[in-house]
Structure 1
Amino acid sequence: MSIFDKDLDRWHTRSEKWDGMLEKFGTSDLIPLWEADMDCKCSPQIIDHFRKRVEHGVFGYTIRDDAFFNAIINWQARRNNWQIEKEWIRNAPGTIPALSAAILAFTEPGDEIIIQEPVYYRFFNSIILNERKTLHNTMIFDGDQYLLDFEGLENMITERTKMIVICNPQNPVGKVFTKEELLRIGEICLKHNILIVSDELYSDILFDGRKHYPIASLSEALKMNTITMFGPGKGFNLPGLKASIVTIANPELMKIYDRTADAIELFMKNLFSIEGVIAAYEYSEEWLDEITVLLQEKRDYVVDYIRTNIPEINIVKPEGTYIAWLDMRFLNMSDAELEAFLVNEAKIGVKYGHTFGKGGSGFIRINFASSKTLLEEALERLADAVKKQLAK
Structure 2
Amino acid sequence: MNQQFEQIIDRKNTRAAKWDLVKQLYGSEDVLPMWVADMDFQAPEAVTSALSKRAEHGIFGYTMTDKEINKAVTDWLSYKHEWEIHNSWLLYSPGVITTLHMAIQTLTEKGDKVMIQTPVYPPFYQIVNIHERQLVKNQLQLVDGKYEIDFEDMENQFKKGVKAFILCNPHNPVGRVWTRTELEKMISLCLKYNVYILADEIHADLVYEPNKHIPIASLNDAVLQQSVTCMSPTKTFNLAGLQVSYAVIPNKEIRKSMEERFHMQGIHGLNTMGIVALEAAYNEGKQWLTNLSEQLKVNLDYVTSSLEQRDDISVIKPEGTYLVWLDFRALNLSQDELRKFLQEKAKIGLNDGITFGDEGTGFMRINIATPLELVKEGIQRLIAALDERKKEEE
TM class by shorter chain equals over 0.9
Percent of aligned pairs with the same amino acid? 37
Matched residue, 1:323? 323
CA distance in 2, matches of 1:65, 1:347: 48
Q: Name whichever of 332-341 and 20-29 sits farther off.
A: 20-29
Q: Are the aligned partners of 1:115 and 1:137 in contact in 2 as well (CA < 8 Å)? A: yes
Q: 5 Å matches for 1:323-362?
A: 323-362=323-362
Matched residue, 1:239? 240
Query: How far has the Cα of 1:160 moved from its partner?
Result: 3.8
After superposition, give the CA deviation of every residue in 1:100-138 in whole Å (9 maximum; x if it has no partner).
111111111111100011110111011111111111101
CA distance in 2, matches of 1:90, 1:266: 12
Does 2:50 correspond to 1:54? no
- Secondary structure at the aligned position of 1:113 is classed as strand
Query: How far has the Cα of 1:158 moved from its partner?
Result: 4.3
Matched residue, 2:203? 202
CA distance in 1, matches of 2:340, 2:166: 32
- Secondary structure at the aligned position of 1:141 is classed as strand
Letter in 2 for 1:132: R
Q: Which runs of no fewer than 5 residues in structure 2 stay unpaired?
A: none
CA distance in 1, matches of 2:113, 2:358: 17
Q: TM-score, normalised by structure 2?
A: 0.97
Q: 5 Å matches for 1:1-392?
A: 2-308=3-309, 310-391=310-391, 392=393
After superposition, give the CA deviation of every residue in 1:21-78 in whole Å (9 maximum; x if it has no partner).
1222222221111011111101111111111111111111101011111100110011
- Secondary structure at the aligned position of 1:197 is classed as strand
Query: How far has the Cα of 1:18 moved from its partner?
Result: 0.4
Query: How far has the Cα of 1:163 moved from its partner?
Result: 0.2
Q: TM-score, normalised by structure 1?
A: 0.97
Query: How far has the Cα of 1:358 moved from its partner?
Result: 3.6
- Secondary structure at the aligned position of 2:173 is classed as coil
- Give the alignment's Cα RMSD to 1 decimal: 1.2
After superposition, give the CA deviation of every residue in 1:164-217 in whole Å (9 maximum; x if it has no partner).
000000000111010111110010000000000000000011112322110110
Name the count of aligned residue pairs.
391
Structure 1 runs of 4+ aligned residues shifted over 3 Å read none
Q: Are the aligned partners of 2:183 and 2:216 in contact in 1 as well (CA < 8 Å)? A: yes
CA distance in 2, matches of 1:347, 1:184: 43
Q: Are the aligned partners of 2:311 and 2:330 in contact in 1 as well (CA < 8 Å)? A: no
After superposition, give the CA deviation of every residue in 1:201-242 in whole Å (9 maximum; x if it has no partner).
000111123221101100101111110001101111111111
Q: Name whichever of 6-15 and 74-83 sits farther off.
A: 6-15
Letter in 2 for 1:382: L
Q: Are the aligned partners of 1:352 and 1:365 in contact in 2 as well (CA < 8 Å)? A: yes
Q: Are the aligned partners of 1:167 and 1:199 in contact in 2 as well (CA < 8 Å)? A: yes
Query: How far has the Cα of 1:262 moved from its partner?
Result: 1.6
After superposition, give the CA deviation of every residue in 1:301-331 in whole Å (9 maximum; x if it has no partner).
11111114x4421101111110100100011
Q: Name whichever of 312-321 and 153-162 sits farther off.
A: 153-162
Letter in 1 for 2:225: M
Query: How far has the Cα of 1:94 moved from its partner?
Result: 1.1
Q: Which runs of no fewer than 5 residues in structure 1 stay unpaired?
A: none
